[in-house]
Amino acid sequence: MIQLENVYKTYRMGDTTVRALNGVSLEIRAGEFVAIMGASGSGKSTLMHVLGLLDQPTSGAFRLFGRDVSRLSEDELAILRSRTVGFVFQQFHLLARTSAAENAALPALYSFDPVPDGRAAELLRGIGLGERLQHNPNELSGGQQQRVAIARSLVNDPQILFADEPTGNLDSTSAEEIMGILTELNRQGKTIILVTHEPDLAQYAKRIIRLRDGHLLADEPNTPRPTPHTITFPSLGKNSLPGFQGSERSTAFDGAGLLPGRAARLRSSLRRIGPLLRQAFRSIAAAKVRSALSMLGILIGVGAIIAVLALGTGAKEAMRRSLSSLGSNLLSLNPGAVQSSGVRQAVGATTRLTLDDAEELPKAIPLIARASAFVRDRGQTVFQDHNWNTEVDGVAPAYQQMRNWEIRAGRFFTEGEMNERHRVAVIGATVARELFGEGNTGVGEFIRINRVSFQVIGSLAGKGASSFGDQDDVILIPVTTAMYRLMGRRYVDRIYAEARTMAAIPLTQDRILEVMKRRHHIPPSQENPFEVRNMAEIQEALMSTTRTMSVLGSSIAVISLLVGGIGIMNIMLVSVTERTREIGLRKAIGARRGEIMMQFLVEALVISVTGGCLGILLGWGISFGMKRFADWPTSVSVQSVALAVIFSGLVGIVFGLWPARKAALLNPIEALRYE
C-alpha cells in the first residue's frame, strides 16, 4: 500500500542543511499496525508528514496504492488526504466553541464522497461519547477530546490512520483507552501508523520501525500486547477506495482512481457553500463585539451614501415638479457678464435691461407670444398687527399666464394699472395666510410694503413648497410701481419671454440676442453681453448645484467605505493569525486552498454585507428623519440600495482577499505547530 524508496527530506536553515530523512526505504501493507520510534529529532514526525501527504520528500519515490504521489500539487495532496488518511495529533486540535459532534463531522465538509449525516454521531457513540455529542471541547477531559479527534479521523472512512504521539498529553488510564481504540480499529482493518518515543506504547503495534538521524535503524515485527475488546465500533462501511475495488463511483475519478475529476471537484465545492456560510456566521458570532466594530465603517459609509443619494434624488424630483409649474416654453433674458480686454466684468456692468426692451421684444419677434419685465426685492409687509417678510416681484400682467398663476380670489392687475404705476398687489397663498389668517384672501384690504401702502386686488392659488423655497411666499405688483415707487430702480433684473411653441425655442433665443445687440448698439465684433436661457438650461444649472453636493457627499461616503474596508481587512488578518492552527487542521483533513480562501472571503463578505444592510437601514432612517423633521425632500431609490449592497460586497471581497489568501497559502505543518 505504501512504498518509500530512498526518500530524503532536507531542511535548509541559513547555511546549514538538516537531513530530517536520510535515504529511507520502506514498505507498509494494508492492515498493518506500525510504530515509528526514535529519539526526539530523529525524523519521526517528518516521516509521518511525508507518509500522511502533508509534506513532500525532497527526493526519492513515494508510491501510494501503486501510484507515484511524490510530485503532486498542494490541492491534489489535500484531496488525497481527505480520501485516504486520517490524523490523530498529540494536541487534539479540536475547534473551540464547537460541539463534539460538529468537530467529528468536520472532515465531511471537505470530502468528495458524500458522508451520511449521522455518521459522526454514530462514531462518537461507538467510541463511548454518546452522552457528550453537544459538549464543546472545554467541557471534555483530555481522553474524551482525543476520542473526538479519533472519531473525526474516521469520518471519511480512510484506509490509513496516523497518530503522532496521541497519548502525549494524556494520563496513563486515558492513554491505555486510546491505544485500545487504535488496536480495535486495526483489528477492523485500518492500517495504523503510530509515532511515539515511548517503548511502552510501541508494544501495542505489530511492527516497530526505529529511526536515528533520519536513517532507518531497525524494522522488526512485534507481538502486540493483548487488549480487551472493550469498544465496539459501528460498521465503518466498505472501507472503500474507488478504483481499487471496482467501486461504482470510479467514473467520477481519474484513471488512477485516486483523484476526482473536474466535475466532481466542482460539485463538491458547490455542496460546501451552505456549510461555509454557516461557519462564517458562527465565527462572526463568536467575536460579536469585534465584528460589530469592524462593521461600523461600512455601516456609516453605506448609511451616508443612502442618505446623500436620497437627498439628491428628492431634490431633483422636487425641482422637476416645481420647474414644470414654470411653463416649459419660458425663456429668461439676463444681462450677462461681458468679456472686455480679457477681464471678466461684473454682471450688467455694461449693458442693462430696460422696460423698453421688454416692450419691444414681442413686437420685434413674432415668435414670442408674450414677455414680462421682472424685478425682485425683499419686502417687509404689514397688515394691522401682522408682519411678514416676503419676496416682492415686479412683473407685467402677462406674467400671470407665463407662470401659470391661478387666481383664488379677486383679479390680476391690468396693463392700465401698470402704465399708471398703481399701488396694487396680488398676494401669494402664504402671504395671505400670514397677513390675514387661514382661509382669508385679503382682497380689498390695504397693506404696507416697506411702508408704502398697497391695495390687495387679488389672491393667488397655492402652488406648494418646492426645493428652492415656498413659491407661494410672494407678492406680485406692477413692474413700474415696483421700480419707481418701491425699489427706486431704473433697470429691470430680467425679462421673461414665452416662445409660441417648444420647437421655436432655439430660434427665439437667437432672435432675442440679435435684437438686443441691435437695440444696445453692440458692435458685431463684440461678444454678446446678454444671455438667454431656456427652462432646460435653468434646470440644468440648478441641478448642477445638487450634483456638486451629491458628489461631495458621495466622496465622503466612499472614503468611509474605504476606511471600513481597511477595518475589515485588519480584523480578518487578526482572525487568520488567531486561527492559524485551525487552518492547519482544516488543511490536514483535506481542505484545499480554494476552500480555506472561500471560508475567509465569505466571512469578510458576511461582515461587510451585514454592515451594508444595517447601513441601508441607517441611511433610510436618516433620510426619513430629514423629511419628517427638517422637511427636506428625500427619496430612497431602489438603485441606491442596490448600489450600496454591491459596494459593500465589493469592499468585503477586495479587502478580504489578502487575509484570505494569506490563510490559504499557509503550510499545514507549520500552521499546526503555530503557537
Q: Where on the chain is the footprint of ligand ADP (CB under 6 A)?
A: 11, 13, 18, 20, 38, 40-46
Which contiguous run of DSSP H or E holds residue 8? strand 2-13
CB of 47 to Mg ion, least distance (A): 10
Grid coordinates given for 239: 472501507
Question: Which region, judged by CB under 5 A, interacts with Mg ion, from 44-52, 548-556, 584-592, 656-664?
Answer: 44-52
Grid coordinates given for 597: 480562501
Question: Which region, judged by CB under 5 A, interacts with Mg ion, from 1-9, 43-51, 377-385, 599-607?
Answer: 43-51
| Residue whose CB is less far from Mg ion, 45 or 82 | 45
| Residue whose CB is less far from ligand ADP, 44 or 403 | 44
Q: Look up residue 288 and give its DSSP letter.
A: H
| Residue whose CB is less far from ligand ADP, 90 or 156 | 90
Residues in contact with Mg ion, counted by CB under 5 A, come to a total of: 1
One DSSP character per residue, 100-131 reads HHHHHHHHHHT-SS---TTHHHHHHHHTT-GG
CB of 55 to ligand ADP, least distance (A): 9
d(C-alpha 44, C-alpha 64), whole Å: 19
d(C-alpha 426, C-alpha 403), whole Å: 14
Residue of 45, 56, 313, 560 interacting with Mg ion (CB under 5 A)? 45
d(C-alpha 244, C-alpha 254), whole Å: 12
CB of 596 to ligand ADP, least distance (A): 20
CB of 64 to ligand ADP, least distance (A): 20
Residue where the block lists cell 499496525: 33
CB of 44 to Mg ion, least distance (A): 5
Instruction: Return the one option of Mg ion, ligand ADP, none that residue 341 interacts with (CB less than 5 to 8 A, by type).
Output: none
Q: Which of 599, 575, 567, 602 is nearest to 664 (CA)?
A: 599
Instruction: Return the one option of Mg ion, ligand ADP, none that residue 37 interacts with (CB less than 5 to 8 A, by type).
Output: none
**Rounded to 5 degrees, what angle do the CA atoms 10, 12, 17 make?**
70
| Residue whose CB is less far from ligand ADP, 328 or 667 | 667
| Residue whose CB is less far from Mg ion, 45 or 351 | 45
Q: What share of the chain is helix, strand, coil (3-state, %, to 5)?
A: 45, 20, 30
Q: Measured at CB, which residue is nearest to Mg ion?
A: 45
Q: Which of 325, 469, 352, 340 is nearest to 406 (CA)?
A: 325
d(C-alpha 252, C-alpha 245), whole Å: 14
Q: How far is CA 495 from the centre of its chain?
A: 52
CB of 195 to ligand ADP, least distance (A): 7
CB of 25 to ligand ADP, least distance (A): 17
Alpha helices in 15-73, H assignment, sequence order: 44-51
Instruction: Return the one option of Mg ion, ligand ADP, none that residue 13 interacts with (CB less than 5 to 8 A, by type).
Output: ligand ADP
SS3 52: coil
For 75, phi and psi rounded to 5 degrees? Answer: -70, -35
Interaction mask 492-511, Mg ion, x per CB under 5 A: --------------------
| Residue whose CB is less far from Mg ion, 36 or 572 | 36
| Residue whose CB is less far from ligand ADP, 46 or 508 | 46
Reported as half-sphere exposure (CB side, CA atoms, 13 A), residue 168 has a value of 13
| Residue whose CB is less far from ligand ADP, 51 or 395 | 51
d(C-alpha 355, C-alpha 58), whole Å: 98
Grid coordinates given for 442: 385679503
| Residue whose CB is less far from Mg ion, 45 or 471 | 45
Q: Which of 110, 36, 120, 116 is nearest to 80 (CA)?
A: 110
Q: Would strands 59-64 and 215-221 be described as parallel, antiparallel, or unpaired?
A: unpaired
Which contiguous run of DSSP H or E holds residue 171? none
CB of 577 within 8 A of CB of 342?
A: no
Question: Which region, judged by CB under 5 A, interacts with Mg ion, from 42-50, 415-423, 459-467, 500-508?
Answer: 42-50
CB of 586 to ligand ADP, least distance (A): 20
CB of 64 to Mg ion, least distance (A): 22
d(C-alpha 375, C-alpha 460), whole Å: 19
Q: Measured at CB, which residue is nearest to ligand ADP?
A: 45
Instruction: Return the one option of Mg ion, ligand ADP, none that residue 346 interacts with (CB less than 5 to 8 A, by type).
Output: none
| Residue whose CB is less far from Mg ion, 26 or 337 | 26
CB of 20 to ligand ADP, least distance (A): 3
Instruction: Return the one option of Mg ion, ligand ADP, none that residue 584 interacts with (CB less than 5 to 8 A, by type).
Output: none
Question: Which region, judged by CB under 5 A, interacts with Mg ion, from 38-46, 140-148, 254-262, 647-655?
Answer: 38-46
CB of 42 to Mg ion, least distance (A): 9
| Residue whose CB is less far from Mg ion, 215 or 494 | 215
CB of 192 to ligand ADP, least distance (A): 18
User: Where on the phi/psi map is residue 240: left (φ > 0), alpha (ψ -120 to 50), or beta?
Assistant: beta
d(C-alpha 436, C-alpha 669), whole Å: 88
| Residue whose CB is less far from Mg ion, 162 or 412 | 162
Instruction: Return the one option of Mg ion, ligand ADP, none that residue 18 interacts with (CB less than 5 to 8 A, by type).
Output: ligand ADP
Given the rule CB under 5 A, which residues bind Mg ion? 45
